[in-house]
Structure 1
Amino acid sequence: MTVEEFRLPDVGEGVAEGELVTWLVQPGDRVEEDQPVAEVETDKALVEVPSRYDGVVEELFVAEGDVVPVGDVIISFRVDDGESATGDGESATGDGESDTDEAVDESGVPTETAAAGSETKPDPSGDGPADESDAPAGRTFAPPSARRLARELGVDIAAVDGSGPGGRVDEADVRAHAEGDADSVGGTDDAGAGSADAPEPKPAPTDVGSGNRTSAVSKRGSDGTAADPASPVPGASASAAVDPAGRDTTLATPATRRAARDRGVDIDDVPTDESRDGEAFVTGEHVRAYADAMESAVAGEDGADGDAAGGADDDAAGGADDDAAGGADDDAVDATGAVEASTPRAGDETVPYRGVRRTIGKQMERSKFTAPHVTHHDTAEVDSLVEAREELKPTAEERGVSLTYMPFVMKAIVAGLKQYPYLNSELREEEEEIVLKGSYNLGIAVATDAGLMVPVVENVDEKGLFELAAEVRNLAARARDRKIKPAEMKGGTFTITNFGAIGGEYATPIINYPETAILGLGAIEERPVVRDGEVVAAPTLPLSLSIDHRVVDGAVAAEFANTVMEHLENPLLLLTQ
């Protein structure tokens, strides 16, 4: 048996990173090739990551919620020697050296593994020998984040009493167990004193069979060993850890930034010896070490013991200091009651800004601050449209189609775009040209749990009402289930957003850049209209048309809206499209 590491593949069209949303397997589980092992959310969609091995899960290197760059190790497997030739699409070189240049013995097993000889490998959960017949029954249930913390604190995860369902161990349980051990030996000994009674950190499964390769979670030293948990910041002295780094730019995952906020630490002040793409990269371990060092320094200045072990005396002193500091901060608040935005308050909840939500935000920001928006509002009287739909619904149902008003609106929009092609265009600033699109691919904005997605219906001018109804329904359902493909959200030339389905009449929709226009639909309801000098109730459809004023003039927008309304008020005209 050998241990094979699996790296996060490119799960989308050139995406650089993904958030690991859910693990579908746990250490000790047997998996087959192509079996999904995790769900990963990119800035485009939620995808399943399949295994490339037949084997047993050795270790999970990433915690749920972590953002992982493509190419980082996320999981390792124990596989038979004959099954481990390729895994991540990376094969061993012909001269017997692996793709990481680590030494191997004659059997092709890394020398660190070979040196272990007949020694029993540690169980992935750290509970004992990895005998496949016993491991599942005696395995400790804990997420990767708790196991990682246990390794950092030198805690045997099997000895921790879990407070979760079925005895599941979380990070709080590990910390409580570690604090209990510290109290039992005095609680005031310095963490780096190296007491003989202190438990030694258990080796991570990667220490056996993974050579010197680094996991995406466990920090390793240059010699491949786990970083010393007693060191305030890897590669930095204790005094340096207290001094703020004062950087202008820092790279960190959202989870790390959240941890920094929770500890009241400025992420740019945290010392680090790691970098990515030439920028400083901070991990949760750096944040914890820096925050602990700062708190110890504050406690020491106020006459507290100042031990790094964080005993009961430190907790009491830290609490008093926090209260005093909090009072001073409160006094420093100006007369308006304004509080620094980064200061967490009781009852506040933080939600990660990443994945699809972050992509939507960036796209909206780019559109709003690039294209000067103007919104034209109007209302169509749609008595005839309501009647036409009612007449066609039985026929649609016979064909298994649920007929809504959307296909009628799509056909009416195409009629308008054919007459006013500048609303079906793209401004290419660098080339100083406007491209008038020859196809009519309409994006339909769909509200999902992850945010707004815009699947695209292609060649609307070539499809009938029933065909459009079926396609829109299918795309919308898969978008809500996060099963939509990235390619199905590309190539749009004009977008429709139907906020009337939720409730409302008018809005100022933001253009789906680089398109030049978007049409918002209000709810079709009976409203007062004037006919023959009298006010009567009639079904109306409010329209909100936003345009890029660099490309489309207000008069052209109004004429386009009039054409759309004309086709909605006289549905027989749609037969000409």
Structure 2
Amino acid sequence: MVREFELPDVGEGLAEAEIVSWLVSVGDAVTEDQPVAEVETDKAVVEVPSPVNGTVKEILAEEGEMVPVGNVIITFATEEDETASEESGDTESDESEAESAISAVSEVGDEDEDAEAGGTAAKGGRVFASPSARRLARELDVDIAAVEGSGPGGRVSDADVRAHAASDDEEEAVESAVEPATAKVGEDDEEEPAPTGDVARAGRDQTLAAPATRRLAEEESVNLDDVPTDETRDGEAFVRPEQVREFAETQRAAQAADTEAVQAGQEAGAVSTTPEQVDQRETREPYTGIRRTIGEQMETSKYTAPHVTHHDEVDVTKLVETRARLKEEAEARGQKLSYMPFVLKAVVAGLREYPVLNSQLDEEADEIVTKHYYNIGVAAATDAGLMVPVVDAVDQKGLLQLSEEMNELVAAARDRSIAREDMQGGTFSITNFGAIGGEYATPIINYPETAILGLGAIKEKPRVVDGEVVPRHVLTLSLSIDHRVIDGAEAAAFTNTVKEHLQNPELLLL
């Protein structure tokens, strides 16, 4: 009996998910609760565990494929089934399963057969790697199973993937240097026939390629149907990554030559251009997954809540000095202390005095719901877009505990391993665009919250103190509010309270 496994709803109300990577191959032995795949929901990348002890019989979805919840994505032969098969001595069935397994492995589309044969996954073991390392491996066209991990328990890091990719590039460089000489020696003995027919020609109607190869083609702005190849799979043209790279290099070289010719013509007085000279000026990528979810949330917020932004600035010279003194103590305790924990505490002080900013508008009940707990979201820039992990009960925690929790949540958001519940239940949000040098902005509210505070960069600016112009550390603030619930005067008063606590950090101790 074969056990079918359907894609579960790994998120709240999820309709579909993308298969990011398979952690097992056909024929691998698995145990119950062992992760077998990584899938991308609308919030994060999560691991899907096996429901049984057994052997992977068939993989029914490719990496990069969007799969509806409830579709069968993998099948298992349970250990009980294997025992029954051995007792029956049905050798024909065993041979059939072996052939099926070999066929399924080839259909998965792993470009590097040698690496797969020698990799950890091919031996039935599991490659331990973070989602970010697996994503980087796909982008660099590296077989994750062939990478030697340097982390605890052999865990593969981003640095391990880059080092492996660099070593592969060196080998390719050596091979390409040797190949011309080899070809010259052998060209008198045998002339390789030129590829003919629909397979070799460019502009095909259909081309087969592994998901990693298709992603490479998208990154290189290459149409797979235009890449020359003499290899086939099931009667259709099959393209490998090295062919995509070679074709892309040829295209870039041709484009560079056209550009030089145009420049030369312009210098001579000619101003004409050709269609080829404006080719590849645009690239496209799917608007799906987390990026689409973020966009829809922003759209809902902007077109539902009338936004007003209040701008101000605060002298944080004392805060800079206080943080500098506490930083060494924090490092001695194994913590990295940024300015954000101080801001979190100052925001709570402001919300206590002006609780309307810690509220939500229940439009169905026509009620303003004021929250008397303080779960603050901290926006984090990730490869997939802006994500907002939530630090719970900020009012009940000290600076170091806030720092530790916030750093862990942000790191999880950036490597796409954050749990969905860690981005829910927020009552107010903070976004730090100053981290990349900005000063003022108009942040979009994290709906259904009613306010968000934007932090600019702390910069030295001239200020008048006791009648003298002196340099001071200045932080800019941008507070966006839902004007249906919050008035401008309340926004200004809240900002003044936050400023007061940042100007005098000792108030945070009260």
- TM-score of the aligned structures, taking structure 2 as reference length: 0.64
- Partner of 1:144 in structure 2? 108
- Partner of 1:485 in structure 2? 419
1:528 shift after superposition:
2.3
Q: Contact 2:59–2:104 at 8 Å: present in 1 too? A: no
Bigger Cα displacement from structure 2, 60-69 vs 473-482: 473-482
Please identify the structure whose Cα radius of gyration is greater. Answer: 1
Q: Identify unmatched segments of 5+ residues in structure 1.
A: 85-106, 109-113, 148-163, 167-179, 188-254, 264-287, 289-308, 312-343
Q: For the structure 1 residues 129 and 62, does the alpha-carbon distance in structure 2 shift closer, same or farther, using more than 3 Å as the test?
A: closer
Q: Identify unmatched segments of 5+ residues in structure 2.
A: 112-140, 144-194, 202-214, 226-234, 238-277
Quick one: distance in 2 between partners of 1:31 and 1:345? Answer: 49
* Amino acid of the structure 1 residue aligned with 2:32: E
Kindly indicate whether residue 393 of structure 2 is the aligned counterpart of residue 459 of structure 1: yes
Bigger Cα displacement from structure 2, 463-472 vs 37-46: 463-472
SS in 1 for 2:454: strand
Q: For the structure 1 residues 310 and 352, does the alpha-carbon distance in structure 2 shift closer, same or farther, using more than 3 Å as the test?
A: closer
Kindly indicate whether residue 452 of structure 2 is the aligned counterpart of residue 518 of structure 1: yes
Q: For the structure 1 residues 480 and 6, does the alpha-carbon distance in structure 2 shift closer, same or farther, using more than 3 Å as the test?
A: same
Kindly indicate whether residue 405 of structure 2 is the aligned counterpart of residue 471 of structure 1: yes
Kindly indicate whether residue 463 of structure 2 is the aligned counterpart of residue 529 of structure 1: yes
1:537 shift after superposition:
1.7
Kindly indicate whether residue 17 of structure 2 is the aligned counterpart of residue 23 of structure 1: no
- Partner of 1:32 in structure 2? 31
Kindly indicate whether residue 442 of structure 2 is the aligned counterpart of residue 508 of structure 1: yes
Q: Could you report, residue by residue, the CA deviation over 1:291-337 in whole angstroms, capped at 9, with x for unpaired residues?
A: xxxxxxxxxxxxxxxxxx999xxxxxxxxxxxxxxxxxxxxxxxxxx
Aligned residues: 366
Q: Contact 2:55–2:79 at 8 Å: present in 1 too? A: no
- Partner of 1:562 in structure 2? 496
Quick one: distance in 2 between partners of 1:146 and 1:541? Answer: 52
* Amino acid of the structure 2 residue aligned with 1:72: N
Quick one: distance in 1 between partners of 2:48 and 2:469? Answer: 60
- Partner of 1:102 in structure 2? none
Quick one: distance in 1 between partners of 2:91 and 2:340? Answer: 68
1:399 shift after superposition:
2.4
| Aligned counterpart for 1:367 among listed residues 280, 298, 301 | 301
Kindly indicate whether residue 462 of structure 2 is the aligned counterpart of residue 552 of structure 1: no
Kindly indicate whether residue 343 of structure 2 is the aligned counterpart of residue 409 of structure 1: yes
Quick one: distance in 1 between partners of 2:142 and 2:287? Answer: 29
Quick one: distance in 2 between partners of 1:513 and 1:129? Answer: 50
Quick one: distance in 2 between partners of 1:183 and 1:372? Answer: 58
Quick one: distance in 1 between partners of 2:483 and 2:324? Answer: 38
1:362 shift after superposition:
0.8
- Partner of 2:119 in structure 1? none
Kindly indicate whether residue 369 of structure 2 is the aligned counterpart of residue 435 of structure 1: yes
Q: For the structure 1 residues 81 and 370, does the alpha-carbon distance in structure 2 shift closer, same or farther, using more than 3 Å as the test?
A: same
Quick one: distance in 1 between partners of 2:330 and 2:110? Answer: 55
Q: For the structure 1 residues 529 and 451, does the alpha-carbon distance in structure 2 shift closer, same or farther, using more than 3 Å as the test?
A: same
Quick one: distance in 2 between partners of 1:350 and 1:30? Answer: 39
Q: For the structure 1 residues 555 and 60, does the alpha-carbon distance in structure 2 shift closer, same or farther, using more than 3 Å as the test?
A: same
Q: For the structure 1 residues 539 and 353, does the alpha-carbon distance in structure 2 shift closer, same or farther, using more than 3 Å as the test?
A: same
- Partner of 1:47 in structure 2? 46
1:407 shift after superposition:
1.1
Q: Contact 1:527–1:540 at 8 Å: present in 2 too? A: yes
Q: For the structure 1 residues 506 and 481, does the alpha-carbon distance in structure 2 shift closer, same or farther, using more than 3 Å as the test?
A: same
Q: For the structure 1 residues 541 and 83, does the alpha-carbon distance in structure 2 shift closer, same or farther, using more than 3 Å as the test?
A: farther
Q: Contact 2:26–2:105 at 8 Å: present in 1 too? A: no
Q: Contact 2:25–2:56 at 8 Å: present in 1 too? A: yes
Q: Contact 2:360–2:450 at 8 Å: present in 1 too? A: yes
Q: Could you report, residue by residue, the CA deviation over 1:440-460 in whole angstroms, capped at 9, with x for unpaired residues?
A: 110011112222211111111
Quick one: distance in 2 between partners of 1:552 and 1:439? Answer: 18
Quick one: distance in 2 between partners of 1:37 and 1:350? Answer: 31
Write 1 or 2 for the structure with the bigger share of helix. Answer: 2
- Partner of 1:9 in structure 2? 8
Quick one: distance in 2 between partners of 1:53 and 1:405? Answer: 47
- Partner of 2:59 in structure 1? 60
Identity of aligned residues (%): 58
Q: Could you report, residue by residue, the CA deviation over 1:26-57 in whole angstroms, capped at 9, with x for unpaired residues?
A: 22333222221110010122111111233332
Q: For the structure 1 residues 83 and 509, does the alpha-carbon distance in structure 2 shift closer, same or farther, using more than 3 Å as the test?
A: farther
Quick one: distance in 2 between partners of 1:142 and 1:539? Answer: 61
SS in 1 for 2:401: helix
SS in 2 for 1:539: strand
Quick one: distance in 2 between partners of 1:420 and 1:380? Answer: 19
* Amino acid of the structure 1 residue aligned with 2:469: V
1:80 shift after superposition:
3.8
SS in 2 for 1:57: strand
SS in 1 for 2:67: strand
Quick one: distance in 2 between partners of 1:374 and 1:501? Answer: 23
* Amino acid of the structure 2 residue aligned with 1:527: K
Structure with higher RCO (Cα < 8 A, 6+ apart):
2
**Alpha carbon RMSD of aligned pairs, Å?**
3.8
- TM-score of the aligned structures, taking structure 1 as reference length: 0.57
